[in-house]
Each structure stands twice: as C-alpha cells, then as structure tokens.
Amino acid sequence: MRAMTQDDVDVVLAIEQAVQRFPWTRGNFADALNSGYLCRVDETESGGIRGYAILMPAAGEAELLNIGVAAAQQRKGLGRAMLAEMVETARAKQLRRVFLEVRSSNIAAIALYRSAGYSEIGVRRGYYQGANGSEDAITMACELMGESNG
C-alpha cells in the first residue's frame, strides 16, 4: 500500500460509491487527507487502485474510519491484507489499539474483523442512517500492546 493523494480521490470515490450502501463523499476523503489521517491505497503493478483504508490516530489510539475493496477484487484476501497493514502501521506508531464501527447487518465484515483479532466492545444504537431508519453500529477494538499493570 502507498499513501493516498488528492489525485487518487476520484478513483477511491468511484470504488466507495460502488461498494458502500451509504458512501463517503468527495469532501470526506479530502478532509481525511487534509487532516493528516493515515490514508492508504492498494495499487496494482500497473497502477490501478484496488482498495483503500483510512486510519485516524488520536491520543495513543486509532480509529479505522473507512476501508473498501473494489467489487472485482473482493473475496480474494485483499481486505484482510489491507486491514493487517493498517494494524501494523498503527503498531509501528506505538498506538495501543485500533477501534472501528461496523454496521450490525454487515456479517461478512464482522467475521473478517473477528478473525483479524478484533473483539466487540460495545454497540452504538441507531449510529448509522439507513434507507428505512437507523441501524446499530458494533464497536470493535484490536489491542496492539499488552495492558500495563500500573
């Protein structure tokens, strides 16, 4: 993976709009880049973007804000690999844990996160807006460093 640039936003936005029911906007991606979040893209050898991930570090922790894989590249392990790389990026920055929120209906993503070492730590009722009202978010965390005994 490499750092995302403003030049990548059109392609990333197209993937986002194709794979998410309630996609981020161009402004969301621009804001993440301008805020200095850890924005990465997965690129093929020929230069095509297959996926992206955005990690927001804050106060010794990080939140995975968004991750997406182009539809044609799904179910091939790319999402798992990108998730692992973002965790390693957080670990290299000596962050203690990575949080994320996932729609309670997104069974495939929940299974991926669990298998990658994330555990459920809470529920945010009505967090996501949906076509028929709101939907709960499951909050998950992956511990990157052992708990201190202090």
The catalytic position among 16, 52, 63, 101 is 101
- How crowded is residue 147: how many other Cβ atoms within 10 Å of its Cβ? 7
Q: Is 113 considered catalytic here?
A: yes
Supply 77's token pair. Answer: 């392990």
Active-site option among 16, 37, 52, 113: 113
Q: Any catalytic annotation for residue 101?
A: yes
| Nearest residue to 42 via CA among 13, 90, 79 | 79
φ, ψ for residue 149, nearest 5 deg: -95, 20
Name the residues annotated as catalytic: 101, 113
